[in-house]
Structure 1
């Protein structure tokens, strides 16, 4: 018996690279399309960093109440939805589009931000980009 590591399976979202968390959540073509659209909508410049550092960066860069919550929602919802998409492909052979995921995440963030107690204190730019009344 040999002690060679087993090869990693290809990414279920792009089928071109070895799957690992950093690739799946940030480097994959599918993930990048989702991130680009959401970051443009949120008017956020996201640095190219490994996924393990993303939470630290977001909490340091955005440390005012509602902005922090928006960044936490953006990061958490996007990673969660990317993982869900990966699992649906693996278990159910169901393939969603990046556009559908972008729409779902946008609706999720808008709904969550719209229920915050601090909604009245939310900057108009934030209310406008997420279409919060």
Structure 2
């Protein structure tokens, strides 16, 4: 589900941390400080400033990440997946091991979306730079599109549709006898 041959390595590593709940969100770090020296009631999401800085909120329940998720999930064929990490995770578990082009794209989009939301969260915590949800959506889709341009696809009606949806060149398609 996380490590597959077409994955982007840094996105896969990030997803591995996310699945294992090892990202250093403020709710996780609060457990480290049992002495009570920090005021953890003030911790809030740096993206929307209205929810907690936690795995469940960041991916994809906060209003900022929900806008990002809504912007990427349709083109990835993930319309039926809600904006909760549990729903996304359960969907990814079902796709594990699949080499279907639409499923691979779904896994690429989820990992890229999570990676870039996390990157934006960190940028907002440690610098004054902010990107809009629309801009982050564009970055995610451009990143996945670039990855797709490095892949070969077997000719099917589904692949023809994918090439058109993602504005990819027809040269990425090979005939079945060319793949062997």
**Same fold, TM-score > 0.5, yes or no:** yes
The answer on 1:108 being equivalent to 2:171 is no
Distance 1:95 1:43 in 2: 28
* Aligned-partner Cα distance in 2 for 1:119–1:92: 44
- Equivalent position of 2:62 in the other structure: 28
Q: CA deviation at 1:118?
A: 2.6
In proportion to residue count, which structure has more helix?
A: 1
**Residue matched to 2:50:** 16
| SS of residue paired to 1:111 | helix
**Aligned with residue 128 of structure 1, among 135, 144, 164:** 164
- Match for residue 11 of structure 2? none
Out of 97, 103, 110, the residue aligned to residue 68 of structure 1 is 103
TM score, norm. by length of structure 1: 0.83
The aligned length equals: 132
The CA deviation at 1:84 is 0.2
- Bigger Rg, structure 1 or 2: 2
- Structure 2, unmatched stretches of 5+, are 1-33, 170-180
Q: CA deviation at 1:53?
A: 5.6
Q: Compare 95-104 and 38-47 and name the one that shifted more.
A: 38-47
* Matched residue, 1:41: 75
- Work out whether residues 42 and 130 of structure 1, in 8 Å CA contact, stay in contact via their aligned partners in 2: no
User: In 2, Cα distance between the equivalents of 1:43 and 1:54?
Assistant: 12
Q: TM-score, with normalisation over the residues of structure 2?
A: 0.63
CA–CA distance in 2 between the matches of 1:108 and 1:92? 23
Deviations 1:84-111 (A, max 9, x none): 0000001112111111111111111111
Identify if the C-alpha distance between structure 1 residues 49 and 13 changes in structure 2 by more than 3 Å, giving closer, same or farther. Answer: closer
What whole-Å deviation, never above 9, does each CA across 1:50-103 have from its counterpart, x for those lacking one?
425634412415834322221111010000000000000011121111111111
The 8 Å contact of residues 109 and 130 in structure 1, kept in 2 or not, is answered as no
